[in-house]
Amino acid sequence: MQTNKITSIIYYSLFFLLGSFFSYSFFILMLNNNLKIAEKISIGFDPSNLLSIIITLLLALYITRKLDKKTTENRVEKDILIDDIKQFKYKFYKEIHDILNSKKILYIEVVAKLKTIRMRFQSINKILKKYGYDMDNNRIAKLDENIRDIKDLLTETPKTKDKKQIIVNNGELSFGTKRREDIEIALDDISSKIFELIVQINKF
Amino acid sequence: MEYINISMPKDFSITPGPRNRSEGDFSGQQFFEEILDPTFAEALKENKGVTINLDGTLGYGTSFLEEVFGGLARKYTPEKVFKNLIIISNEEEYLKNDIDNYIKNANK
């Protein structure tokens, strides 16, 4: 709301300055060309002048309102999108921490949670692309890669039994300390990328 | 080209599991040995391709996908797999890209 008031003030000031500029220019032009105002000024009512003033005023009001409306619509669109991303981030972090806080959890349960997370991000991704928010640095694609990395860290067991950082036994999954740390680091990385994405949307 | 169709939920399970049989039920190893490998071999023999529909399950772990598709590329070469295999994944479109990477990097 504050931004809208500022925008309106800017527009009104701009129109005022433009008006002043043209009046001043006209005055200077008159002086330089030795133009003189008739000694006897006739005071009369000219309907065409009045109509011109009214149309100019109405146009100024219309343009200002139209631009204000557009600005408001863009802000609402951004707010909804940002809110969506924040909700995604909250659910994503909650799910991953729930997984990490369980001593043992079913492998298929983890996989199902990750499917929901990635599908949710996929739909956000589509909206961001549809409205053209992914202009700089391909941030969304990078974020998508990071989310896939988390999936790998949570569900990729080694081909050999050498490494014990992720173990699946009877369909139950458990993680070693190193793997947990790697997941936390990956989560931090995602958090900063989401922050950058929100900043980018706000600047757009 | 004619195709032999495999549906993951109908022909295998709605809950695909981990990588190896020793880790749990419906593993990638089980799917590869019992379904994909024999079907792919038969398809090659008859100059056919194979389609796998991945929709309709609870999801796929990285291990499962790597074991199945990386395993297929290790056995038949990535080129043959790309030529004769079609992945259908409308629910999780990104899986096609993931699987392409498992096939390309199968021998790394």
pLDDT in tens, B31-46: 999 999 999 999 999 9
Contact B49, B85 (CB under 8 A): yes
> Does the pLDDT of residue A136 top 70, yes or no?
no
The amino acid at A136? D
> Does the pLDDT of residue B103 top 50, yes or no?
yes
Query: Mean pLDDT throughout A109-126?
Result: 95
Put simply, whether A107 touches B (Cβ < 8 Å) is yes
Angular region, A98: left φ>0, alpha ψ -120 to 50, beta rest: alpha
Query: Mean pLDDT throughout A141-153?
Result: 93
Residues of B in contact with A170 (CB under 8 A): 24
Give residues with Cβ within 8 angstroms of A125, minimum separation 6: A140, A144
The pLDDT, as a whole number, for residue A34 is 62
Give residues with Cβ within 8 angstroms of A200, minimum separation 6: A133, A135, A136, A139
For residues A91 and A94, what is the distance between their CA atoms, to the nearest angstrom? 5
Residues of A in contact with B19 (CB under 8 A): 157, 159, 168
The pLDDT, as a whole number, for residue A1 is 45
The pLDDT, as a whole number, for residue B43 is 97
For residues B40 and B45, what is the distance between their CA atoms, to the nearest angstrom? 9
Residues of A in contact with B63 (CB under 8 A): 155-157, 168
Query: Mean pLDDT throughout A36-65?
Result: 80
> Does the pLDDT of residue A4 top 60, yes or no?
no
> Does the pLDDT of residue A38 top 60, yes or no?
no
Asked whether the beta carbons of residue A108 and residue B63 sit closer than 8 angstroms, the reply is: no
For residues B63, B68, B71 and B72, what is the CA-based torsion angle, rounded to 10 degrees?
A: -160
- Alpha-carbon distances of A163 from A6, A146, A178, A179, rounded to whole Å: 60, 22, 11, 11
> What is the percentage of chain B residues whose pLDDT exceeds 90?
97
pLDDT in tens, B55-100: 999 999 999 999 999 999 999 999 999 999 999 999 999 999 999 9
DSSP codes joined into one string, A54-77: HHHHHHHHHHHHHHHHHHHHHHHH
Nearest to B61 among A119, A155, A172 (CB): A155
Nearest to A111 among B58, B67, B91 (CB): B58
Asked whether the beta carbons of residue B63 and residue A110 sit closer than 8 angstroms, the reply is: no
pTM: 0.77
Query: Mean pLDDT throughout A108-132?
Result: 93
Give the mean pLDDT of chain A.
Answer: 84
Contact B65, B55 (CB under 8 A): no
Give kind and range of the element (H or E) at residue A175. Answer: strand A172-175
Distance to chain B for A70, nearest Cα, Å:
34
For residues B24 and B20, what is the distance between their CA atoms, to the nearest angstrom? 7
Assign 3-state DSSP to chain B and report helix, strand, coil percentages, each to 5: 55, 15, 30
Distance to chain A for B1, nearest Cα, Å:
32
pLDDT in tens, A105-114: 999 999 999 9
CA end-to-end span of chain B? 31
Question: Which one has a higher pLDDT value, B71 or A48?
Answer: B71
Asked whether the beta carbons of residue A107 and residue B93 sit closer than 8 angstroms, the reply is: no
